[in-house]
Amino acid sequence: MSEQTISSTPGRFGRLYQGLTSIDFVGRRKIWFTVSALIIVAGALSLGIRGFNLGIDFKGGSSWEVLAPHATVQQMTNAAESAGLSQPTVTKLGSSTFEVEGDLNALSPSQQTNVTDNVVNAMAKVAKVNSNQVSTSSVGPTWGAGITHRALEALIAFFIAVLIYISARFEPKMALAAFAAMVHDLLVTVGVYSLFGFQVTPDTVIAILTILGYSLYDTVVVFDRVRDNSRGVLNNGNMTYSEMINLSMNQTLARSINTSLVAILPVLSVLLVGAYILGATTLQNYGLALFVGLVSGAYSSIFIASPLLAVLKEREPRFKDLRLRVASRTDRLVLTPAAAAAMTNERGTTTREAATGTARSNVIQARARKQKRR
Amino acid sequence: MASSNSSRRSLVVSLVLTLAISFGALFATLGAGWSPKLGLDLAGGLSVVYKPATHASLSDLQEVTSVLTNRVNGLGVSGAQVNLQGRDVVVSVPGVTNARQVLKTIGQTAQLLFRPVVCYATAPSSKAVEVAPGKLPACGSSYYTSPANLGIVVAPNTANGYTGPNNIADDPAFTNIKSTSPQNDFKNDYVLLPVLGQTGVRYVLGPAELTGKAIKSALAQENQSGAWVVNYTLTSAGSPQWDKVAEANFHGLLAIELDGVIQSAPLIQPTQSSFTSFGGTGEISGSFTETSAKNLALAMQFGSLPVRLVPLTTETVSPTLGHSALVAGLGAGLAGLALVLLYVILYYRALGLVILLGLGLTAALLWAIISSLGHTALAPSFDLAGVTGLIVSIGITVDSYIVYFERLKDESRAGRTVRTSVDRGFRSAWRTVLAADFVSFLAALLLYLIAVGDVRGFAFFLGLSTILDVLVTWYFTRPIVILLGRRSGAGNSAMSIAAGMGSGATDE
């Protein structure tokens, strides 16, 4: 072999970059499934015991915000209490924004207006600004339920539309696997919110819906490659369905990692710059849910959706047969993406001849098939 | 190849046109002085979501929407929007600085009711409590503000044209009773209500005899002697009803009540010795100031909601906090974008620069589109949720490039030249981009259709940038990468296309 470029053994990143990975995603599925199951069970337990940390949008209540660089939490608390707000919660957001929360829903509407105005004036006085500089928000006790209801409607409609679309464009089993990955992301995000006591707001609900779209987007890209390969590579008869999925996964791994990074970087920036430094709560709410969900979504499209698809497909008679036939062959190959690319060319799907020699010998890595099945 | 040449020409045309349209649109928008219409959480302002207190038909809700729209426009506030979203009425007034005052005027959500005044009541004592609806004690007969007790006498030669009304004392029976609160203010009960702008002055009112539906329009005007009056017109159905009520209360006081507050309690035709039909119009005069006359006219004309509204959520944002949120959002977006660009340029080298140019193009298009939509008030205003939608879309936009470039790497690993890779790679990447963007668009569309408030802005801008992504991939990424690939011949410099594709690529 004239394998100069390869024998220099690139590092992990280099192997990914050059398409030399051959990670057995399907074979190790029990590890991935167990990790996810643990997180989901922990989340479910926490949800059962502690529930959610619901924001005022769900409980009902009022909140006030003002920019007051020179005030203290104690001053704000005193001001809010003397203005007639019982048990106010005062938090400092970012470097200079103060948020006061309290519940006025027990009062009559006119009293609510009065107390709201009093608190506005009191906070403006502490912050030494005009009362127009104080932001207010008041939420009735049924608002959150309404939002949740709409979100559930959107969620169900989305699930149905997605199942139909993937079934039509790809196939029903892929729809099922993609659906499972989405449910996984939903459960993980919900569980993480309960576990860490992050506050749930309507923004969180929106963000979760977005994540599901994104997770699916990620999965669709991988499945698109699986579909391509199931036409090409599979017909050779020297690869089982699972191995074909592994190949597809390794082929799209660089993409998956890049895409996830590219998606997570701005969201992380929203979370850090927007929320913690500058104290914009809406950004913080979105950023947190998106961050948790994107990480889960990146994980599920790699480690849940595709292995699950392999499990589902391997039950079909023709792929069982294929598995038997493949097992009887001796010229088994575990392909790296680079090797598979070279093979496609070798089979003559195009007429290019230049440079194939080096490329092919560079990258095919023959390797004994693992006998052990976990 | 001949086909290659003609194709090359169309690629160049496509690329040049796309660049010209995008940056042309940007400069046109900037030149026209259009800028995105900022949502209230960025510009400051007011937003309220109302829900009908009782079951309301769709036509009721549409009437509510138009009444509220009139009311908001009547305040002289620009850019205000009143929308029906599902069964919720969403009012948003961006850019106002005195949000809480505006809120009070819009927030007068009750029905306008006309009730006869039964007696005057004393101011409430500190021990006063509210009684259950309908359990108000009756006025003492000597305190009745009946036409007989008021004793109006027509006197054409006096300034007013009449004498009276007689002084009638406040009924002390109500000292320990609080005014009826708006939620206990039922149409068919006797109620005890305060008078607008007069501390401690309260009247006991009888059951409502007419609602604001009878009023077609009301206008504050100065009469010949320069005093402010409110002229009103009745609807064709309201006119005979009004006459009936007015006749029953002739020379008595008829209170105009809005949201548990008596706006005015005029005497009926004190200058006439016998009742005459109003004939569909009337005038309320008295000690009005310009403001109080205008407020009464507004209340009479627009106070007539077919259902009572309950605020679900109320939000006012100060302009300074809005500004700091805008800075935070932009800062976060730009920082995230910079990180992403740094990463892709390091990873893809020359191809990373294609992403940089592509994102610049997308940004130019987005700015032009958002500004134009903001100018025509078609799109949701650009708020923090929208900013987040755009930030999320960075990932989806850049991913289309990544899918393509990873395909290029595959192709070049298969030993193909850059020249062939760019064509073949695009064909397979294009299908993937379409499938994936479709799913993303589907999510955005469903969110937009089903959700309320902020969510719509988020979904709108996410969906918009998904569509742009598809267009930019076809009209920009495809031509530029294919053209670059064909020109590629400069060997393996660090910034060549091949450098971005890993070791397998060979330049021709």
**Pair B84, B14 in one domain:** no
Residue B332 counted as domain residue: yes
Does the structure show a pLDDT above 90 at B329?
Answer: no
Q: Can you tell me the distance from the alpha carbon of B213 to that of B15, in angstroms, rounded to the nearest whole number?
A: 61
Give the pLDDT of residue B2.
Answer: 40
Residue B508 counted as domain residue: no
- Residue B342 forms contact with A (CB below 8 Å): no
Residues of chain A contacting residue B502, judged by C-beta atoms under 8 Å apart: 17-19
Report pLDDT digits (tens) over A164-204.
Answer: 988 998 889 999 999 999 999 999 988 988 888 888 877 77
Å from A346 to nearest chain B CA?
8
Give the pLDDT of residue B116.
Answer: 92
Q: Can you tell me the distance from the alpha carbon of A15 to that of A18, in angstroms, rounded to the nearest whole number?
A: 5
**Pair A179, A280 in one domain:** yes
**Pair A166, A300 in one domain:** yes
Å from A206 to nearest chain B CA?
6
Mean per-residue pLDDT, A45-61: 84
Name the residue with higher pLDDT: A309 or A270: A309
Q: Which of A139, A165, A182 is the last residue before a domain boundary?
A: A139
Pairing of strands A61-67, B45-52: unpaired
**Pair A47, A164 in one domain:** yes
Residue A371 counted as domain residue: no
Give contacts of B 264-303 with A, CB under 8 A.
Answer: none
Q: Can you tell me the distance from the alpha carbon of B475 to that of B133, in angstroms, rounded to the nearest whole number?
A: 69
CATH assignment of the domain containing A45: 1.20.1640.10
Give the pLDDT of residue A281.
Answer: 67
Mean per-residue pLDDT, B293-297: 80
Q: Which of B53, B86, B107 is the last residue before a domain boundary?
A: B107
Residues of chain B contacting residue A355, judged by C-beta atoms under 8 Å apart: 415, 417, 506
DSSP string, B141-175: GGGB--HHHHT-EE-TTSSSSEE-PPP-PPBGGGT
Q: Which two tokens stand for residue B358?
A: 């592509």
CATH assignment of the domain containing B68: 3.30.70.3400
Give contacts of B 116-145 with A, CB under 8 A.
Answer: none
Q: Can you tell me the distance from the alpha carbon of B437 to that of B464, in angstroms, rounded to the nearest whole number?
A: 11
Residues of chain B contacting residue A350, judged by C-beta atoms under 8 Å apart: 416, 420, 424
Give the pLDDT of residue A348.
Answer: 41
Give the pLDDT of residue B204.
Answer: 93
Beta bridge partners of B177: B129
Does the structure show a pLDDT above 70 at B3?
Answer: no
**Pair B360, B228 in one domain:** no
**Pair B351, B480 in one domain:** yes
**Pair A111, A228 in one domain:** no
Name the residue with higher pLDDT: A283 or A251: A251
Å from A355 to nearest chain B CA?
6
**Pair A47, A92 in one domain:** no
The answer to whether B444 and A213 are in contact (CB under 8 A) is yes
Report pLDDT digits (tens) over B361-374.
Answer: 999 999 898 888 87
Q: Which two tokens stand for residue B147?
A: 């036409």
Widest distance between CA atoms in chain B? 110
Does the structure show a pLDDT above 50 at A154?
Answer: yes
Q: What percent of chain A has pLDDT over 70?
A: 80
Residue A49 counted as domain residue: yes
For chain B, the domain total comes to 3
Does the structure show a pLDDT above 60 at B6?
Answer: no
Q: Which of A319, A346, A363 is the last residue before a domain boundary?
A: A319
**Pair B124, B21 in one domain:** no
Residue A4 counted as domain residue: no
Give the pLDDT of residue B503.
Answer: 45
A373 pLDDT tier (thresholds 50, 70, 90): very low
Give the pLDDT of residue B506.
Answer: 43
DSSP string, B60-99: HHHHHHHHHHHHHHHTT-SS-EEEEETTEEEEEEET-S-H
Q: Can you tell me the distance from the alpha carbon of B92 to that of B81, in angstroms, rounded to the nearest whole number?
A: 5
Give the pLDDT of residue A37.
Answer: 93
AA identity, residue A254? A
Give the pLDDT of residue B378.
Answer: 63
Residue A363 counted as domain residue: no
Contact A274 B431 (CB under 8 A): no
- Find the CB nearest A217 among B181, B319, B440: B440
- Find the CB nearest A206 among B260, B414, B455: B455
The answer to whether B236 and B152 are in contact (CB under 8 A) is no
Å from B443 to nearest chain A CA?
6
Please provide the average confidence, as pLDDT, over all residues in chain A. 78
**Pair B155, B298 in one domain:** yes
**Pair A288, A219 in one domain:** yes
Report pLDDT digits (tens) over B415-465.
Answer: 888 888 888 889 889 988 898 888 888 888 887 887 666 677 778 888 999
Residue B308 counted as domain residue: no
Q: Can you tell me the distance from the alpha carbon of A100 to that of A65, in angstroms, rounded to the nearest whole number?
A: 6
Contact A110 B416 (CB under 8 A): no
**Pair B228, B346 in one domain:** no
ipTM: 0.76
Residue B376 counted as domain residue: yes
Give the pLDDT of residue B25.
Answer: 92
Q: Can you tell me the distance from the alpha carbon of A254 to that of A19, in angstroms, rounded to the nearest whole number?
A: 8
**Pair A272, A206 in one domain:** yes
User: What are the residues whose beta carbons fall under 8 Å from the beta carbon of B66, sequence distance 6 or more?
Assistant: none
Q: Can you tell me the distance from the alpha carbon of A185 to that of B309, in angstroms, rounded to the nearest whole number?
A: 38
Å from A102 to nearest chain B CA?
14
**Peptide bond preceding B165 in cis form (omega within 30 of 0):** yes
Mean per-residue pLDDT, A99-111: 80
**Pair A32, A67 in one domain:** no
Is the dihedral angle over the CA atoms B147, B148, B151, B153 positive or is it negative?
positive
Give the pLDDT of residue B379.
Answer: 64
**Pair B376, B288 in one domain:** no
Q: Can you tell me the distance from the alpha carbon of B481 to that of B426, in angstroms, rounded to the nearest whole number?
A: 9
Q: What percent of chain B has pLDDT over 90?
A: 15
User: What are the residues whose beta carbons fall under 8 Å from the beta carbon of B293, sequence distance 6 or more?
Assistant: B220, B221, B228, B229, B230
**Pair B72, B122 in one domain:** no
Give the pLDDT of residue A275.
Answer: 61
Residue B507 counted as domain residue: no
Q: Of the spans A11-20, A340-349, B211-220, B226-235, which averages the highest pLDDT?
A: B226-235
Report pLDDT digits (tens) over B61-107.
Answer: 887 887 787 767 766 666 678 888 778 888 888 777 777 777 776 76
Domain boundaries, position A72: 61-139
Does the structure show a pLDDT above 50 at A361?
Answer: no
A277 pLDDT tier (thresholds 50, 70, 90): low
Å from A155 to nearest chain B CA?
9
Mean per-residue pLDDT, B24-37: 87
Residue A240 counted as domain residue: yes
B394 pLDDT tier (thresholds 50, 70, 90): confident
Q: What percent of chain A has pLDDT over 90?
A: 11
The answer to whether B174 and B122 are in contact (CB under 8 A) is yes
Token match 């104080």: residue?
A134
Å from A18 to nearest chain B CA?
6
**Pair B330, B381 in one domain:** yes
The answer to whether A159 and A152 are in contact (CB under 8 A) is no
Token match 């109500």: residue?
B174
Contact B402 A136 (CB under 8 A): no
Give the pLDDT of residue A10.
Answer: 60
Residue B313 counted as domain residue: no
Contact A352 B417 (CB under 8 A): yes
**Residue B273 CB-half CA count within 13 A:** 3
Contact B183 A109 (CB under 8 A): yes
Q: Which of A90, A114, A139 is the last residue before a domain boundary?
A: A139
**Pair A280, A306 in one domain:** yes
Give the pLDDT of residue A280.
Answer: 61
Instruction: Identify the CA nearest to B304 among candidates B413, B409, B210, B424.
Output: B210
Give the pLDDT of residue A176.
Answer: 93
Contact A269 B335 (CB under 8 A): yes
Contact B402 A262 (CB under 8 A): yes
Q: Of the spans A75-79, A283-287, B450-454, which averages the highest pLDDT?
A: A75-79
**Span of A363-367, B332-336, B341-345 with lowest mean pLDDT:** A363-367
Give the pLDDT of residue A332.
Answer: 61
Give the pLDDT of residue B498.
Answer: 60
Domain boundaries, position B85: 45-107
**Residue B132 CB-half CA count within 13 A:** 1
Report pLDDT digits (tens) over A299-334.
Answer: 898 899 999 999 998 888 888 888 888 777 766 666
Does the structure show a pLDDT above 60 at B505?
Answer: no
Report pLDDT digits (tens) over B107-157.
Answer: 655 567 889 999 999 888 888 888 888 888 888 888 998 888 888 888 888
**Pair B139, B236 in one domain:** yes
Residue of A nearest to B332 (CA): A270
**Pair A135, A158 in one domain:** no
Residues of chain A contacting residue B45, judged by C-beta atoms under 8 Å apart: none
- Residue B346 forms contact with A (CB below 8 Å): no
**Pair B486, B398 in one domain:** yes
Residues of chain A contacting residue B327, judged by C-beta atoms under 8 Å apart: 278
Q: Which of B107, B142, B158 is the last residue before a domain boundary?
A: B107
**Pair B390, B429 in one domain:** yes
Q: Which of B303, B337, B352 is the last residue before a domain boundary?
A: B303
Give the pLDDT of residue A350.
Answer: 37
Residue A284 counted as domain residue: yes
Q: Can you tell me the distance from the alpha carbon of B475 to that of B430, in angstroms, rounded to the nearest whole number?
A: 12
Q: Can you tell me the distance from the alpha carbon of A368 to that of B13, in angstroms, rounded to the nearest whole number?
A: 53
Give the pLDDT of residue B185.
Answer: 79
For chain A, the domain total comes to 2
**Residue B43 CB-half CA count within 13 A:** 19
Name the residue with higher pLDDT: A172 or A155: A172
Å from B426 to nearest chain A CA?
14
Residue B123 counted as domain residue: yes
Does the structure show a pLDDT above 50 at A247?
Answer: yes
**Residue B84 CB-half CA count within 13 A:** 16
Pairing of strands B45-52, B281-288: unpaired
Q: Best interface-test mutation with B: which of A2, A9, A210 has the largest number of B CBs within 10 A? A: A210
**Span of A85-99, A165-179, A337-351, B481-495 with lowest mean pLDDT:** A337-351
Residue B31 counted as domain residue: yes
Residue of A nearest to B179 (CA): A110
Widest distance between CA atoms in chain A? 87
Give the pLDDT of residue B304.
Answer: 60
**Pair A106, A148 in one domain:** no
- Residue B439 forms contact with A (CB below 8 Å): yes
Q: Assign residue B279 a region (left: φ > 0; alpha: ψ between -120 and 50; beta: otherwise).
A: left
**Pair A173, A288 in one domain:** yes
